[in-house]
Structure 1
Amino acid sequence: MKHFAKVLPLAGLALAPMAASADTVLGVFAGGQYWDGNVDGSISAFDPLVQLGNYDDQGETFSSYYVALEHPIPLIPNFKARWNDMTVDGDGINPKSDFSHVDYILYYEIFDNDIVSIDLGVNAKRFDGNTRYIVADAAVTPVDFSGTVPMAYASTKIGLPFTSWWINAEASALSFDDSDIRDVSASVEYQFLDNAAIDASVRLGYRDMEIKLDDIDDTYSDIRFSGPFVSVDVHF
């Protein structure tokens, strides 16, 4: 997957002329998300016909948190890093799989006012995961998979006039060879704190992530994570 890293600088150059950040001063954003998800699909190693784990709407809880930096400097993109903790318990010969990863997002605010905000950019989704399987009912053997996948990124935020409510949507997606990765979410947001020092809000939404890997470090997957989430966001 190393050759996909070449997409990142090219995409950044393509987006750069469109806009710069609308922040007139340095802005720092941070937040955490609790995700009550369901897992559906399968994962295998070495050969796609050898199934190590099958999941049928298995309930799991995941978490993620992020930090973002926005600035007023033209042409230089804003930056967001999001850490996603996604460990799935299994049974049989596959006791556990770890799809935890980090999103490194570069984006431009191409439109931003008190009602509508639109961001476009690229997301380098970095996987350092593993799946484990039991050999001869004894030893637990890990199969590691890692790589950085460059994805198209977009988000929008629409405010309901004369209220403290917002509607949000965010998406990252890429399809290459026989692998497909999608991470989308939609939410409603209520801003309960708004002053000169800090803004704070709570969001309720739904997140849907699909990870189809085809022979990535001898790992194959066709697995989907979906479910409602709650998050708290602050802006300094």
Structure 2
Amino acid sequence: MNKTAALISSLMLLTSTTAAADAIGVYVGAQGWDMAAEGSHGENNELVEYNFKDESQARFYLAFEHPVPFIPNIKIAHSELMTKGLEVDTNNEFANLVVEGSEVDFTYTDYTLYYELFDNGLFSFDFGLTAKDFEGELLTSDTMGLDEDSVDEIIPMLYASAQVSLPGTGLSVFAEGNFLSIDDHTLADYQAGIAYALIDNIVIDVNLSAGYRVVDLELDDLDGVYADLEFDGAFAGVEVHF
């Protein structure tokens, strides 16, 4: 998949939509994610399953919204996605015999163009496209040496976000995600949770959030990489709105 072509096609599709935010706003956020991982990866569709370590990961994002028609809002998010694991040789009579190690690094940056299609103060819904910039590495090591597979692609994905406020409480529930299913590849990155307005005035808003996040990767010969991996766990975050 060509990076430039994927990014251009995403931009062309988005600019055909007409919707806009009500006012200029800048959002800055950070999240801590208590992530568990499971799954397998390998070469030539011969997948090896690993017992991966739980990890603490981070996500940072910056979004800019404006009221200009036809021009999309923009959000940039950077997510860590790293873990290590050990293979269990299920064909060996000695259960849980470690025969191979794995290091996964699918850290990526999302570039999202979106429109605020609906917002009445109680419910909002955004829709757009994300260019997911993958520069991932899969390392495997055993007594025979070290093997490395890498992915360097920009993958276009659908983006959607919704939030429902609970009047008089300062609380709201939200969901956000990116999705793609094409050829034999399936990718999903979504989260849902609850937010609390710690500070809410005309100068600055500060929101605290907590929820659950899932990243699913099913790759079938993407730059030679075959993988079936799931990362999930609880997260907590803070967002500042100027």
- The TM-score with structure 1 as length reference comes to 0.90
Would you say how many aligned residue pairs link Structure 1 and Structure 2? 228
The aligned residue for residue 51 of structure 2 is 55
Q: Which runs of 5+ in 2 are unaligned?
A: 87-98
- In structure 2, what is the Cα distance between the partners aligned to 1:55 and 1:153? 31
- In structure 2, what is the Cα distance between the partners aligned to 1:214 and 1:4? 19
The aligned residue for residue 114 of structure 2 is 107
Please state how far the C-alpha of 1:135 moved relative to its aligned partner. Answer: 5.7
Would you say 1:130 and 2:137 are equivalent positions? yes
Contact 2:15/2:71, CA 8 A, preserved across alignment:
no
Give the 3 Å change call, closer, same or farther, for CA 50–110 of structure 1 in structure 2.
closer
User: Out of 93, 102, 105, which is 2:100 matched to?
Assistant: 93
Please state how far the C-alpha of 1:196 moved relative to its aligned partner. Answer: 2.4
Contact 1:168/1:188, CA 8 A, preserved across alignment:
yes
- In structure 1, what is the Cα distance between the partners aligned to 2:108 and 2:51? 20
What is the correspondence of 1:65-214 to structure 2 with a 5 Å cutoff? 65-91=60-86, 92-134=99-141, 136-137=143-144, 139-214=145-220
- In structure 1, what is the Cα distance between the partners aligned to 2:51 and 2:75? 31
- In structure 2, what is the Cα distance between the partners aligned to 1:75 and 1:43? 42
Contact 1:20/1:108, CA 8 A, preserved across alignment:
yes
Contact 1:94/1:131, CA 8 A, preserved across alignment:
no
The aligned residue for residue 91 of structure 2 is none
Q: Which runs of 5+ in 1 are unaligned?
A: none
- In structure 1, what is the Cα distance between the partners aligned to 2:215 and 2:22? 29
RMSD: 1.7
Residue type at the aligned position of 1:85: E
Contact 2:218/2:229, CA 8 A, preserved across alignment:
yes
Residues 10-40 of structure 1: CA deviation (Å, up to 9, x unaligned)? 42134x22x11222xx311011111112111
Contact 2:15/2:72, CA 8 A, preserved across alignment:
no
- In structure 2, what is the Cα distance between the partners aligned to 1:218 and 1:176? 16
Would you say 1:8 and 2:10 are equivalent positions? yes
Residue type at the aligned position of 1:118: F
- In structure 2, what is the Cα distance between the partners aligned to 1:161 and 1:148? 40
